[in-house]
Amino acid sequence: MSKYAVNRFLFQIDRDPVLLAAYKADPEAMVARWEAEMAPYLGPWGQTVERSSVVTLSAEERRMLVEHDYVGLFEMGAHYFLTLTIFIGIYEEDYMTSSGPLAFQKEYRDKLSHWIGKQYPSVAL
């Protein structure tokens, strides 16, 4: 399990409106592009000289990112703030239009309701 790699994907995509739009439109293509062009370089700041071999996704992590599976991400211990922020960025406006304010946030919350009263998966790396 490579929480660091998953967190880095969420961090890098969420801070760039062009990448975020690409991740919304075609998640599989964006994840593949990130793995090919961004993950192999040191750090999350977009530099493209220094290489780094430590950032790799498992098949299951790749699936969760491709499927926007925020429940799975919560359960593997991806950081809750990164996960919440990026998927609000992707879904909030569409949900707002169809179902009103906070509709996406409430659906997200309710999909995690089986965790109420239990100790959540740790976000520590």
Partner 1 sequence: MATLSAVLATTHHPFFYKATELTPPEEQMPQAAEWKSKVEAYRETLTAAEPELLVMVGSDHFHQFFYDNYPTFLIGKQARYDATFYNEIREFGMPTYELEGHEELSGFMFQGLLDRGFDFSVSSELKIDHSIICPIITTRPDGDLPIVPIYTNIFAPPLPSPKRFYDLGRAIREIIDEFPSDKRVAAIGSGHLSLELGGPRMFEEHGPDPEWDVQAIEWLANGDIESILENVTWESMSTSGNATPGFLDLILMLGIAGPEKAAYVDDLDLYHTREMYMTWYPDGDPRKAEHRKEAAA
Q: By the criterion CB under 8 A, which residues form the site for partner 1?
A: 4, 7-8, 11, 14-17, 42-44, 70, 74, 79-85, 88-89, 92, 102, 105-106, 108-110, 112-116, 119-120, 122-125
Query: Shortest distance, CB of residue 84 to partner 1, whole angstroms?
Result: 3
Residue 28 CB, nearest approach to partner 1 (Å): 23
Q: How far is the CB of 82 from partner 1 (least distance, A)?
A: 6
19 residue type, one letter: L
The CA distance from 2 to 59, in Å, is 11
Pairwise CA distance, residues 82 & 7, whole Å: 7
Residue among 29 and 106 whose Cβ is closer to partner 1: 106
User: Are the CB atoms for 82 and 7 separated by under 8 Å?
Assistant: yes
Q: CA-CA distance, 49 to 5, in Å (whole number)?
A: 19
- Kindly tell me which of 20 and 66 has the beta carbon lying closer to partner 1: 20
Whole-number Å distance between alpha carbons of 47 and 41: 7
